[in-house]
Structure formats: C-alpha cells, structure tokens
Structure 1
Amino acid sequence: MSIDTPVASSLSELDKRSREIFREIVETYLDTGEPVGSRTLSRTGQFTLSPASIRNTMADLAAAGLLTAPHSSAGRMPTHAGLRLFVDGLLQVGELGEDERREIDDRVGGAGRRPGDVLSEASALLSGLAGGAGLVASPKSDAALRHVEFVSLSPTEVLAVLVHEDGSVENRLMTAPAGLPPAALIEAGNYLSARLRGRTLSEALSEINSEIAEKRAQLDSAAASLVESGIADWGGAADRTLIVRGQARLLENLDAAEDLERVRILFEDIERKEDLLALLDEARNGQGVRLFIGSENSLFSLSGSSVIVAPYRDRDQKILGALGVIGPTRLNYARVIPLVDYTARVVGRILDKGR
C-alpha cells in the first residue's frame, strides 16, 4: 500500500516564520541526528514564540510533508522531501578550507601516477573526510575503434581483438556460443568493424542492439549470437572497477535495531556493482555535483541513504568517471558537497597528466 503525501513545492509556499523554524529544525537534526522538539527550539532564544506556537508551525510543516515524527517522539525530523527542499533552497555551501585542500592535493597527488592507486586513495580520502563510504568508478573506455576480429581458441573460447584508432589493442576472452562455425567469426568481425569504425562502443551500442533485435543485421544466427555476447560484455560493468572504502563508518553511531537493519540493506545495495556504477554514471549527465536523497534513487530507497556524486574530467572537460560519498541522510551537506567537488577536480587533473 502506498500513501501520497502532499509536499510543499517551494519555499515560497512557506511564510517567514515557517521557513525560520524549518531551517532551525533541519540544521539541528543534521548536527545531532536527533528529532527536534518545540521546547528545544524555544530555548535557543532565536524565536519570540511560545512552545505552543512553535508546535503549531511544526504541525503545519508536517502536514506539508516536510517533517515527520519518528515513533512516539515529541520531536520532529525532516523527511527526504524536506531535506531536498532545504538543500535546494536554504543550504549555504561554503568553500573548503586551505588545510583540507592541501590534504586532498597531497594524498591523492602522492598516490603516484597509476590510475588504480589514485582512485583507491581518493575513495579512502572521501570516506575519512566525509564520514561515510567513499565511492569511485573507474573511467569507461571511450576510445574510438578501427577494427574488431574474433579468433577461435577452443570449442568453448573465443578471443575478441579490438583495435582502437589510437593504436591501442584490447584482447577480451569470451565464451563461444555452442556450435560456432569458423565462418561466423569472420562474419561477426566484419559486421562490428563496419558499425564501430571511428566510433566508440557506447555510441554504436543502441544501433547494433536494434538491428539485431529487429533482424536487420543480416547476420546468421551463430554470428548474431557472437555479436550479442560481445556487446553484452563490453557494454556492461565487467571490465570496470568500483572502489568502495570506509563501509565500517556506516556502522558508527547506531543506536537502534532499525538503524542496523538499514545499514544491512545498504551493504547489500553496495554489493550490486552494476547498479551502483549506473548511479555514479548519472553524474555524467550533469555539470557538477549531484545529490540523491533517500527514495530519489531506487537503489537506496529502502536504506534511506544519501549519495553525493560528481564527475571527474580531463583538461578538455571530457568526463572520465565519477566519484562520491554514500552515508546517512544527515550527512553534513554543506561540507561534503564542496569536498566531493574538489576531490573530483583533483582526480581528473592527476589522471589527465598521466595519460
């Protein structure tokens, strides 16, 4: 059973008093992790209102779908929709301090020139500084292709040879479809070479899939099966690396059985490599840092987690990959957002120098 909750669409729908109380509740919750009560707000000295007046405003904010009361607590905490409204309209994102910038420069830059070492250090660094788990997706291979050839190694194995326009060569071992005749190897290689020449696999993938599905590829069944097997492997996450560091940090400050259950679900989500890579790749569609809160992304809808991700780019602003942080919804967004952004810029710069 699903329940649709009315949500205030913008801050303009809230009066000044409601905005101030809403801001204070969210900031206090992000700082303490505890529901905030009307008496606590009245004691801050920021409001010339009685606890009863504050409670009435809090009830209105809850009716608007921005606050919720966990269990029988007298306090309120922001919903995922409330957090989104706060981040979009009230959050003041600052600049990283010079010490933090220097630490990122020194640690990521000191990891050497090997991409794997740089990415691993970036993931560990993000975890330590942000207080969540650090996530880094290795770059996709986007070099244009010149030629594809299939070589039979045994009745059950085929070697795919991919020659790129920059002269690099990739050899990928594949399982051979049953009963594959030698002519199918040549036919499949010629077909892919014609479709991929001068293009990346990601650019041609949709066209190739459509042609095969609609029987327009003019391939016999054996060659079509070999092509489908190849593009399924090459277009997926099989040859990409997902680096996750700091999962133990997600176990910190657990004080209830339901918190432990959410983290258990989150750990299961993190194990789903292809789904997590797809989430990180969504950062490739944006210009900067992207934030997913709770159910805004289906992968983490049950664990109620937040993910902050950003692409890292080369000197020509071409996106190489993405990195980010995953943690509870009460992450310190004002600090973590610029942290992820700056780390992405440092990683992009270092990897670009090593190419």
Structure 2
Amino acid sequence: MQLDNRARTLLKALVERYIADGQPVGSRALSKLSGLELSPATIRNIMADLEEMGFVASPHTSAGRVPTPRGYRMFVDTLLTVEAIDESALEGRLQARLQHSTSPQKIITNAAQVLSSLSQFAGVVMTPKRESVFQQIEFLRLSEKRILLVIVDQGGDVQNRMLLTEVDYTPSQLTQAANYINQHYAGQSFDQVRMHLQGELRQLRDDMTALMQAAVEAGSDAMSEEADNNVVISGERNLLSVTDLSSNMNSLRRLFDMFEQKTGLLQLLDVSSKATGVQIFIGGESQLVPMDDMSIVTAPYEVNGRIVGTLGVIGPTRMAYERVIPIVDITAKLLSSALSQH
C-alpha cells in the first residue's frame, strides 16, 4: 500500500522513537520529531489513517500510538536508513575472533558469539549441512539378541544405536553383515542403502536380511537426529533483559522452548538460506517467528561460493535494525571467507 510523503515521514519518526524508548508516541512528539510544519489536527488525521491501514495501533492506556508488525515491515522495507558503521573496525574485530579459530566448528561458534556481543541480543548460526553418509559400520554383540550398532560418518564422528533382534547372531555373522555393508555401500546415505538392499537382500539368508534392515533403519534415524542439532546459539541470556520478550512467564516459556526444541528456528533459517542478502522476519507477521514481539535478522553464508548455512540475530521487534543489519551482513561475509580459507 502506497503512503504519501507526509504519512511516510510520520511513520518513520514514530517507529524510530518507539524503538528508542518503548513508549507510545503522541502527536505532539511527532510534530517535533518529523520536522513537518503540520498542525496537531493534521497529524492526528494522518495517524488515524495509518491506524486504519494497520500500520500503527493505539494501546488502551495511552493516547499515543505504537507500530504494528505491518508498520515495522513498511519501516524496514522502505523507510529504514541503515547506519553507516565503521566497517573496517568491525571487520578487524570479527577477523580477530574468526582467524584464531582452529576448526570450522570453532569458527561457527565464534561467529555466533560475535553476533551476540555486537548486537547485545542472541546470535545464531545454522551450521553447514553435512551429507548424511556413513564411512563404516560395526556390529558388537552385547548379549543374546542385543547388538550395538556403531556408525562412523565421513567426518570421523561416531554414533551408537542399540538393536534388539529376534535372532541371536554369532560374532562371525555380525562381522559378515558389517563387511558386506561396508564393502558395498560405504560413502552412501542410509536411504540409498535401503533402496539398493531391497533387491539384493533377496539373495541373502533371511536372518541376515532382518539384521541389515534393522541396521539401515537405526542408522537413518541416527543421522537424521544429528542433522536436527545443527544450530549454534549464543547470548540467549541477553534476551532475559529485554522486557518486551520476558515480561511474563508465558513469554519466557515460549522463548526458551524455541531455544530448546530448535525445530522452528531451523525451519526459519533454512528458508532464509534460499534467499540472497539480509532477510528480516518480524513476529506477528511471519508465522515462522514464534513470538509477536520478536524479530530475527538473517543472512546466508557460503563456502567456496556455495551457500551452506545461515546466521542471524534474534531480538525484539523493537530493535535498532539500522545497526543490526550491517552487523549480520558483514559477519556473514567474513564467516564465508574464514570457512572458505580453512
């Protein structure tokens, strides 16, 4: 919806003032802040129009107005002037943290910490998605009909899963089954193995078929669970001091549910990885954001020219977007460079 210049100027002044002090903004304050030579009656009429269009709202306790999610969206999309920050100083600070990291995981952890410390909110990084492939499996007989499945992925990480079987397999049978899978399918995903085995297992003994099928199902579950934990969060406690997010127990519960479960957060970060540049998700407008008073500013990052993940800042809708946006943008570029060089 198009707004004329006066309405745009007043909406911009209102959002900036509300972000600064969190109090409803009245017509008298807007007259001074906007620099427009308008009568109080004219300003009230324009504000009434903005309220009717859904850009501002009037709290019951005050004659002033506050921005709505739609008002924030109009502000960040068309009215925001991004702060001209000292990029060289910021880059130097970020590079000092990222370059001293000894592994990709440490680089990512440091990036989340940098986002948190610079924004004073929570920093989040979705780690690069690793292909869910295994390098080797092994079966260990624990007791009658109880087998430990050991899975080694391509990065050398090890996961264990317990298998309860109907047959008491001998150690030699377990070795034979593991050798068959390793020789034929190492370096593939368990989903790929499942498709291959559907035809090939008919040629094997029935009792071995059941064991291999159980291993594939357990291995697939194990790799999926590992993929669900690929997000690093730093500075969650910063949000406890943000009254807008922690004003009541229900808000706090939803906030920490988001951090503990991570599913919704991962979905949002995955969506933003498919876009280019900085994206802003505003609570109350985007169903991906779990709280009305929360916003998330994100940007994708790359390794050797290929987008592999997303990072961002989680904070209140009443955040200084003009300052957070360049922090997220520059951090994404520096993380891309650090991981590509590692």
TM-score scaled by length of structure 1? 0.77
CA RMSD of aligned residues (A): 3.5
Q: Which residue identity is paired with 1:106?
A: A
Question: Which of 281, 285, 301 is 2:274 aligned to?
Answer: 285
Q: Quote the residue 1:157 is aligned against.
A: 148
Q: Read off the aligned partner of 1:179 and give its amino acid letter.
A: E
Cross-structure match for 1:32:
21
Give the Cα–Cα distance (whole angstroms) in 1 for the partners of residues 19 and 27 of structure 2: 17
Q: Does 1:83 align with 2:72?
A: yes
Q: Residue 336 in 1 paired to residue 324 in 2?
A: yes
Do the aligned partners of 1:132 and 1:250 also contact (CA within 8 Å) in 2?
yes
Q: 2:94 aligns with which of 99, 104, 110?
A: 104
The 3 A distance-change label for structure 1 pair 94 and 40 is: closer
Distance 2:183 2:311 in 1: 33
Report if aligned partners of 2:281, 2:289 keep a CA contact under 8 Å in 1.
no
In the TM superposition, residue 336 of structure 1 has moved relative to its aligned partner by: 0.9
Change (3 A) 1:151 1:34: same
2:116 to 127, 138, 142: 127
- Give 1:327 shift: 0.6
The reply on whether 1:246 has 2:228 as its aligned counterpart is: no
Matched residue SS, 1:88 = helix
| 2:315 counterpart SS class | strand
For the structure 1 residues 339 and 234, does the alpha-carbon distance in structure 2 shift closer, same or farther, using more than 3 Å as the test?
same
Identify the residue that residue 174 of structure 1 maps to in structure 2.
Answer: 161
**1:56-71 pair list within 5 angstroms:** 56-71=45-60
Q: Equivalents in 2 of 1:48, 1:113: separation in Å?
A: 59
Counterpart Cα distance in 1 of 2:255 and 2:246: 14
Q: What residue ranges of structure 1 are gaps of 5+ in the alignment?
A: 1-9
Distance 1:295 1:51, change over 3 A: same
Name the CA distance, whole Å, in 2 between partners of 1:293 and 1:189.
52
Matches within 5 A, 1:144-293: 149-154=137-142, 155-162=146-153, 164=154, 169-179=156-166, 201=189, 223-237=212-226, 240-252=229-241, 254=243, 258=247, 261-293=250-282
**For the Cα contact (< 8 Å) 1:325–1:340, is it kept in 2?**
yes
Q: Is the 8 A contact 1:147 1:193 kept in 2?
A: no
Q: Give the direction of change, closer, same or farther, for the CA distance of 1:274–1:179 in structure 2 (3 Å limit).
A: farther
User: Paired residues, what number?
Assistant: 328
CA distance 1:35–1:152, change in 2 (3 Å): same
Q: Distance in 2 between matches of 1:60 and 1:259?
A: 32
- The answer as to whether partners of 1:138 and 1:240 remain within 8 angstroms in 2 is no
* Matching of residues 300-319 of structure 1 within 5 Å: 300-302=289-291, 304-315=293-304, 317-319=305-307
Q: Deviations over 1:85-137 (max 9, x none)?
A: 22122223345413222222223323x22233322222222112112111123
Cα 1:23–1:68 shift into 2, 3 Å: same
Shift of residue 184, structure 1, vs aligned partner: 9.5
Cα distance between partner residues in 2 of 1:217 and 1:76: 69
The 2-side partners of 1:77 and 1:287 are apart by 30
- In 1, distance between residues paired with 2:312 and 2:177? 43
Mean Cα displacement is larger for which, 127-136 or 235-244?
Answer: 235-244
1:5 maps to which residue?
none
TM-score with structure 2 setting the length: 0.80
- CA distance in 2 between counterparts of 1:235 and 1:138 reads 15
The structure with the largest alpha-carbon Rg is 2
